Amino acid sequence: MEKTPDVKTQPRSLNEVAGDLGRALGLQASGHAEEAVTAFLGIIASEPHNVIARYSLACVLTQLARPEQALEHINEAIRANPVFAPSYLARSQILANMRRFDESIRDAEAAILIDPATDGLLAHWSKLRRLLPGLPAPLQNLPDILQQTAKLSEDGRDAEAIALYRKSLIQCDPAFIYVVLFNLSVIYHKLGLPSEAESHLSAAIKLKPDFFEAHLNLGTVLESTGRNDEALACWRAALEVPSVNEPDQLPNKTRLLNNIGRLNELMRNYAGAEHALYESLLLDIDQSPVLHHWIHLRQKQCKWPVVEGLPTDLEAVMQHASPLAMLGMTDDPALQRRSAQRFVEEKVGVFERMAPASLRYGHDKIRIGYLSSDLSMHAVSLLTVELYETHDRSRFEVHAFCWSKEDGTPFRERVRGAFDHFHRIVDLDDEAAARLIRAQEIDILVDLQGLTGNARPNILARGPAPIQIAYLGYPGTTCLPYVDYVVADHFIFPEELKPHFSEAPLYVETGFQVSDSKRAFGPRPTRAQFGLPEDAFVFCVFNNSHKITQPMFESWMRILRASPKSVLWLLEDNVWAKENLRRAAERSGVDVNRLHFAGRIDPKDYLARFQVADLFLDTTPYNAGTTANDCLWAGLPILTLSGRTYVSRMAGSLLTSAGLSYFVCHTLEQYEARAIHLSIERKEAAAASAALAQRKAQGWLFNTSNFCARFEGRLYELVNG
């Protein structure tokens, strides 16, 4: 290595360093190589980590045919700044001149991944091809290579696929390097190496900025590492690529918009999600899944009318609405069944039933399996956990088939401990999960999911158990193949509803809904803690905002106008719903200060919070379910409007089983008149609260043991005839 001149190494100003570097670079540019070497060495003596000096010195030494010395300096430059692409290119050139080709190729790849637009990089690839001994001529059959590597990857031979791709980087035409980089990224992502996938995709985009698939996949990789904002920025940037706006790129543009909408929804940015999906629908209205989500997003934000601004009408939209959205859009059970049937036709396969309905295993104990993604801190488990614990182990063996998230809560551990056997099926596909259920010889499979989000209907559609029952998760008909029964009582499932369900009712006379008597209450709060007036009659609505329809809200406004000493206490589900509800109140002539909003709080404090209200106003056609159970358990009466559908009769069922039939209305006029009457005759609501407290103390309000005994009796009848 060149001997560094003896110089003083005391700190110098940036201006001095910049001046010395400028003079050294000038010497290099004018061809005074030896003088440039001396000048760069002088800078390095006082600034050993000066990347430009090290890099430039290595370049000069390469010109002077002193590769060993050049290599030492370029190594120091890379150590000082490992993301400076020209340094890797320079080292690749030095190593190629030294005939160290494997190392040269690795550095050339590194330069490409950092900045494929680096001056001279693609020309260097061509030179490498000429220098490599025995290397074939540039590839003319890249498609064949891509097909070969894809087959290797499919067969699980990913290391071989990566090696072949890397060889292709050298052999292919530099104009198509971006294709190889993209395909390498796919394998790295598959192998769970997001950093490598990201760098290869970024390089591919730099080489070909209008490469749509690379933009799309890069956003997906960023999302997989939790960098959601970066993923959204990536997809939005792709929308600005001119080629994406060409007519033949319409499917690609809608995919980008749909991804932006989906991720925004996951991040609870409902307005951003709705806008992206709206733009997508304007491009192509015939996207049923997108339309489903767009409708539900508007429901969540209380944006009325729910269908507005699209080149279609409400009737046409309802032909595409998701089953879940339809629960809150209509009280017509025929429309709800058609929506479920359409979903099943589009999303659910047709399979031969694994376990025939006539099959009886003859076990000493009936094996009952619960199928759910909600066996965690979720409304379904908050209701059902005591049921799992209460099952008679002398007659039943209880299994869980679960793809729930591990939320790390003590409640999750309680749910786990309630089962005799807990099967995690998150890593199994639907076929494998169904085979596991069949192999466990489950006599009765109870589905707690239905057609809700995160459901896996293609497990049930394979019929892995001879008896399959729908319960709780989805309050409507599923139309799923081989789902034989739905848990019900005679109020929630009257005779006239039977033609609109694919499942037969499995009547449990204690009421359709189970409960948890072990729910803990926080300290009883005061109205002042929530900013509620002490002397007002407090109507509360703690249902999720997507259940609130325009007619329902207008009804509440009429109630408030007729009850001047009352206020309405609503759940603050999201900021957009809150603002839209406040604006709707103003349009109705109601002072917005009479609307109060309650945030989400700890479950025990949430239960205690009911105790400061006077009356719960239910929504229709989508009634309160778990919330109604919590409300009555906390001692607060509910005023409900029961309709024609299962979902619109949930709260009525609970009130009937609690002995409070007076609070079940059947017309909107009756509902409003009764709410106004109760706000004036306050003692009646207070008396109902006292009755609930007494029935709870006596042990017959939502008695899980009674429900479990009746439920088990029905299951025993199904298995044993």
Which has the closest alpha carbon to 448: 428, 474, 424?
A: 474
Residue with tokens 């767009």: 294
Query: Where are the domain boundaries for CATH 3.40.50.11380 in the chain?
Result: 366-507
Query: Where are the domain boundaries for CATH 1.25.40.10 in the chain?
Result: 14-131, 142-346
What pLDDT does residue 375 have? 95
In sequence order, which residues have a C-beta less than 8 Å from that of residue 357 and are 6 or more positions away?
A: 466, 467, 482, 484
Identify the three-state secondary structure at position 488: strand
* Phi, then psi, of 569 in degrees rounded to 5: -110, 115
Residue with tokens 């009796």: 713
Considering the domain 14-131 in this protein, what is its CATH number? 1.25.40.10
Pairing of strands 537-541, 615-617: parallel
What burial class does residue 230 get, using C-beta atoms within 10 Å of its C-beta: 0-12 exposed, 13-18 middle, 19+ buried? middle
Distance CA 630, CA 264 (A): 31
pLDDT score of 159 more than 80: yes
Are the beta carbons of 295 and 316 closer than 8 angstroms?
Answer: no
Residue with tokens 């003896």: 6
Pairing of strands 421-424, 566-571: unpaired
Distance CA 378, CA 397 (A): 24
Full strand arrangement of the beta sheet holding 467-470: 421-424, 396-402, 366-372, 444-447, 467-470, 485-488, 504-507
* pLDDT band, very low/low/confident/very high, at 101 (cuts 50, 70, 90): confident
Lowest mean pLDDT among 158-162, 167-171, 387-391: 167-171
Distance CA 53, CA 503 (A): 78
Give the chain's mean pLDDT: 91
106-126 pLDDT, tens digit per residue, is: 888 888 778 877 888 878 877
What burial class does residue 630 get, using C-beta atoms within 10 Å of its C-beta: 0-12 exposed, 13-18 middle, 19+ buried? buried
What pLDDT does residue 8 have? 44
* pLDDT band, very low/low/confident/very high, at 14 (cuts 50, 70, 90): low
- Look up residue 456 and give its DSSP letter: -
Beta strand spans in 109-228 (E):
none
- Look up residue 342 and give its DSSP letter: H
Beta strand spans in 313-374 (E):
366-372
* pLDDT band, very low/low/confident/very high, at 102 (cuts 50, 70, 90): confident
Distance CA 584, CA 365 (A): 57
Tokens of 262: 């989906």
CA angle at 299 for the pair 673 and 273, rounded to the nearest 5°: 160
Tokens of 411: 């409640």
SS (H, E, C) 102-120: HHHHHHHHHHHHHCCCCCC
pLDDT score of 313 more than 50: yes
Query: What is the CB-side half-sphere exposure of residue 714 using CA atoms within 13 A?
Result: 20
* pLDDT band, very low/low/confident/very high, at 318 (cuts 50, 70, 90): confident
Tokens of 15: 């201006």
493-548 pLDDT, tens digit per residue, is: 999 999 999 999 999 988 999 999 999 999 999 999 999 999 999 999 999 999 99
What pLDDT does residue 669 have? 98
Identify the three-state secondary structure at position 521: coil
Q: What is the mean pLDDT of residues 85-109?
A: 89
Distance CA 236, CA 213 (A): 14
* pLDDT band, very low/low/confident/very high, at 7 (cuts 50, 70, 90): very low
Residue type, 188: Y
Are the beta carbons of 1 and 28 closer than 8 angstroms?
Answer: no
Residue with tokens 């007002």: 536
Element (H, E) at 282: helix 270-283
Give CATH superfamily name and number for 142-346.
Tetratricopeptide repeat domain (1.25.40.10)
In sequence order, which residues have a C-beta less than 8 Å from that of residue 151 and are 6 or more positions away?
A: none
Q: What is the mean pLDDT of residues 464-488?
A: 97
605-617 pLDDT, tens digit per residue, is: 999 999 999 999 9
pLDDT score of 17 more than 80: no
Handedness of CA 101, 104, 106, 111 (dihedral sign): negative
What pLDDT does residue 45 have? 87
In sequence order, which residues have a C-beta less than 8 Å from that of residue 663 and are 6 or more positions away?
A: 637, 638, 639, 640, 655, 674, 688
* Phi, then psi, of 502 in degrees rounded to 5: -80, -20
pLDDT score of 15 more than 90: no
Considering the domain 366-507 in this protein, what is its CATH number? 3.40.50.11380
CA–CA distances in Å: residue 530 to residues 7, 65, 130, 599, 696: 73, 80, 77, 10, 27
pLDDT score of 707 more than 60: yes
DSSP letter string, 45-93 = HH-TT-HHHHHHHHHHHHHTT-HHHHHHHHHHHHHH-TT-HHHHHHHHH
In sequence order, which residues have a C-beta less than 8 Å from that of residue 31 and are 6 or more positions away?
A: none
Query: Where are the domain boundaries for CATH 3.40.50.2000 in the chain?
Result: 527-702
* Phi, then psi, of 490 in degrees rounded to 5: -75, -20
Whole-model pTM: value is 0.82
540-579 pLDDT, tens digit per residue, is: 999 999 999 999 999 999 999 999 999 999 999 999 999 9
Distance CA 20, CA 7 (A): 13
In sequence order, which residues have a C-beta less than 8 Å from that of residue 37 and are 6 or more positions away?
A: 2, 57, 60, 61, 64
Considering the domain 527-702 in this protein, what is its CATH number? 3.40.50.2000
pLDDT score of 170 more than 80: no
What pLDDT does residue 18 have? 81
* Phi, then psi, of 487 in degrees rounded to 5: -70, 135
Q: What is the mean pLDDT of residues 117-136?
A: 73
What pLDDT does residue 150 have? 81
Q: How many residues are given for the chain? A: 721
241-277 pLDDT, tens digit per residue, is: 888 888 888 999 999 999 999 999 999 999 999 999 9
Identify the three-state secondary structure at position 570: strand
For the chain, give the percent of residues with pLDDT over 90: 70
Identify the three-state secondary structure at position 436: helix
Lowest mean pLDDT among 6-20, 122-136, 545-559: 6-20
For the chain, give the percent of residues with pLDDT over 70: 96
Q: What is the mean pLDDT of residues 162-177?
A: 76
DSSP letter string, 537-549 = EEEEE-S-GGG--
